[in-house]
Every structure is written in C-alpha cells, then in structure tokens.
C-alpha cells in the first residue's frame, strides 16, 4: 500500500502541472520540545489539513478555498482535531475532503471542476507505509 505522503504527492503533482496554486501544511513529523514550541509560535495548528488549494474551484468560483486531509487507503484513522478543523473551514465557505488516497482526492477535485486526471492502481514501486 502506498504511503500517505506518496498519495498526497500525486495530487500535488496534478495540481501544479495545471498551474493551480496549492500548499502543503507540514504538521507531521517529530520535533523536540523546543522545535515544537517554535513551530507553534510560527502557526503550527493541530488538525490543520494536509493540503490547501487557493485557486478557486472552476465549478464553484465563490468558494474561499479547498482543503484536503489525506489518510492511508487502508487503516488511515480519522483524527477528531482534523475533522473539527475541516468542519470549521466548511462553515466559513471552504470545500473540504477527507481523502483515503490520491484517487479519492482527485475525484473530489474533478467534481469541483479542476482539470485533474485520476490514477489507477498504485505502481508497485510506490513507497509503502510501515
């Protein structure tokens, strides 16, 4: 099974190839106590989604933005902080998605009118989650 990181990278690749403005939120990873305090001072927020798309969706141009939280296709657990963050964004006019893999995220983006292609099964050489 491909890693969550690999799946997200496939979506970012599609978005950037089409010239859409997007950014990743680096919330994962381990930090020292000092590093964590510094990251929080700079805006690290628990539950923030993995990917933000700032280019308005072609089929919903009034939307403020698009937020996607990625989970592994199998065994990816939904975090209450992440669900709450997505709900808060939805409440202020964002389109949000909790995607289990690149295919779900790309289908969501395509339904919003973004020119993205979906992927078939992941290649055998894709990085695997531990």
pLDDT at 128: 45
- Residue 117 inside a domain? The answer is no
**Alpha-helix runs per DSSP H in 18-128:** 33-41, 80-91, 102-111
Instruction: Measure the N-to-C terminal CA separation of the chain; round to a whole number of Å.
Output: 9
Please state the domain count of the chain. 1
- Residue 15 inside a domain? The answer is yes
- Residue 127 inside a domain? The answer is no
Residue range(s) defining the domain that contains residue 56: 4-111
Residue 97: C-alpha distances to residues 32, 64, 107 (Å): 30, 14, 10
- Residue 45 inside a domain? The answer is yes
- Residue 118 inside a domain? The answer is no
Each of the 130 residues of the chain gets a pLDDT tens digit; together they read: 778 888 999 999 999 999 999 999 877 767 788 877 877 787 777 889 999 999 999 999 999 999 999 998 877 788 899 999 999 999 999 999 999 999 999 999 999 999 998 665 444 444 444 4
- Residue 121 inside a domain? The answer is no
Under DSSP, the state recorded for 113 is T
- Residue 10 inside a domain? The answer is yes
pLDDT at 129: 46
Q: What strands, in cross-sheet order, belong to the sheet with 51-53?
A: 22-24, 51-53, 66-71, 95-100
> What CATH number is given to the structural domain containing 23?
3.40.1350.10
Q: How far is CA 55 from the centre of its chain?
A: 14
pTM above 0.75?
A: yes
- Residue 67 inside a domain? The answer is yes
């Amino acid at each position: 099974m491909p890693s969550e990181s690999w799946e997200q990278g496939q979506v970012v690749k599609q978005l950037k190839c089409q010239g859409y403005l997007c950014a990743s939120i680096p919330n994962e990873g381990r930090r020292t106590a000092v590093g964590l305090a510094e990251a929080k001072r700079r805006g690290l927020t628990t539950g923030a989604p993995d990917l933000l798309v700032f280019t308005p969706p072609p089929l919903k141009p009034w939307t403020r933005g698009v937020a996607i939280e990625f989970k592994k296709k199998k065994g990816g657990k939904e975090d209450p902080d992440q669900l709450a963050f997505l709900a808060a964004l939805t409440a202020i006019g964002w389109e949000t998605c909790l995607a289990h893999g690149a295919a779900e995220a790309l289908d969501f983006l395509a339904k919003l009118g973004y020119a993205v292609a979906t992927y078939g099964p992941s290649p055998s050489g894709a990085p695997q989650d531990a």
